[in-house]
Amino acid sequence: MGTAFAVVLVFVGCCSNVVYLELLVRQFPGCGNIVTFAQFVFIALEGFIFETKFGRKKPAIPVSNYFIMVTMFFTVSVINNYALNFNIAMPLHMIFRSGSLIANMILGIIILKKRYSASKYLSIVLVSTGIFICTIMSAKQVVSSDGSEEQGFYAFMHWLIGIAMLTFALLMSARMGIFQETLYKQYGKHSKEALFYNHCLPLPGFLLLATDIYNHCILFNQSTPVLVPVVGLTMPTMWLYLLVNVVTQYVCIRGVFILTTECTSLTVTLVVTLRKFISLIFSILYFQNPFTAWHWVGTAVVFIGTLLYTEVWSSVQAALRGAGVKERKAE
């Protein structure tokens, strides 16, 4: 029951979150900072009330360790959302972030001196190739969409900065994962506590982005008013989109947290990967984002590589073999 409920939370929460993020970004492409800030405030407030019991509960992991993790987490969150300012289409953004497993593996080899099976190395090649194909095809679209050669070059360079930001965020996220792994080995797993401190401690950092956040608050206030059905109140459309985005982000994170306590890491990875794929398909069909045949090829290669990494095929074969053995014994 708990697992099924968690899977529903992940799919409903995360897919809805992507939809409302795209609605926000399409209206105001530079709204990444206010979206990140709102998500951090909401999750930090929830954690302060229910996890730390209004600050009365002491952390199991020293706060000094959280400061290192928080610096990386804040950087990744801000850069990922800010990259949308640089002509990065939402489907490409999702495909790029699907490479997180592989980035984690590469840094594991470099930093922790880990060694993996041949199938794992093949998955690195597949995911890297898939992301490369999608990136190249998106680059062609950016250049061809602008009229003059000079405008096309400027748009391409602008887009290239966004790609560099996504690449940096991907590697930084993987480095954070390795740091988190070493912390959990030393102090034990405290996912809810980490979730709270990762969102609470970075809040002063948003002072650096205060001007941008304030400007977008004014822009959001000027958006078309809409009647909220259940409550019966009228509020600007963009604030409603932001509210739904924040709530669905929380639902998604809670679903993933429940899954980590109920299932193996393999199951969690598979569910999150399938969720990303469904979000991608929905983004393409509903918002009619430009997606060529080569984009589909690249996407398929990325997800095949991800499933290969998680050893889903071997797990399914093992389960089928186990079922076959049980049937023969019953006979």
Residue 136: the pLDDT is 80
pLDDT 10s digit of each residue in the chain, 331 long? 567 888 888 888 888 888 898 899 889 988 989 999 999 999 999 999 999 999 999 999 898 898 998 899 889 888 988 888 887 877 788 777 777 767 877 888 888 788 878 887 888 788 888 878 887 877 766 656 655 666 777 888 888 899 999 999 988 988 888 888 788 888 887 878 888 998 999 999 999 999 999 999 999 999 999 998 888 889 999 999 999 999 998 888 888 877 776 775 656 766 777 777 777 777 777 777 777 888 888 888 888 887 787 776 676 666 667 656 555 666 5
**For residues 8 and 152, what is the distance between their CA atoms, to the nearest angstrom?**
43
Q: How far apart are CA 193 and CA 189, in angstroms?
A: 9
pLDDT in tens, 37-70: 999 999 999 999 999 999 999 999 898 898 998 8
Asked whether the whole model's pTM tops 0.85, one would answer no
Q: Where are the alpha helices (DSSP H) in 188-227?
A: 191-200, 210-221
Q: 189 φ, ψ to 5°?
A: -80, 125
Neighbours of 292 (CB within 10 A): 13
Q: Which residues contact 133 (CB under 8 A, 6 or more apart)?
A: 294, 295, 297, 298, 301
Other beta carbons within 10 Å of 260: 15
Cβ–Cβ under 8 Å, residues 95 and 302: yes
- pLDDT at residue 259, rounded to an integer: 79
- How far apart CA 98 and CA 305 sit, in angstroms, is 10
Question: Distance between CA atoms of 259 and 269, rounded to whole angstroms?
Answer: 10
DSSP string, 260-273: HHHS-HHHHHHHHH
Cα 146 to Cα 89, 91, 135, 153, 205, distances in angstroms: 15, 20, 18, 9, 36
In this predicted model, what pLDDT tens digit does every residue of 67-121 receive, in sequence order?
998 899 889 888 988 888 887 877 788 777 777 767 877 888 888 788 878 887 8
Instruction: Name, in order, each residue with C-beta under 8 angstroms of 105's C-beta and a sequence gap of 6 or more.
Output: 114, 116, 120, 123, 124, 309
Closest C-alpha among 11, 181, 166, 13 to residue 94: 166
User: From CA 306, how far away is CA 313, in angstroms rounded?
Assistant: 11
What's the pLDDT at 139?
Answer: 72
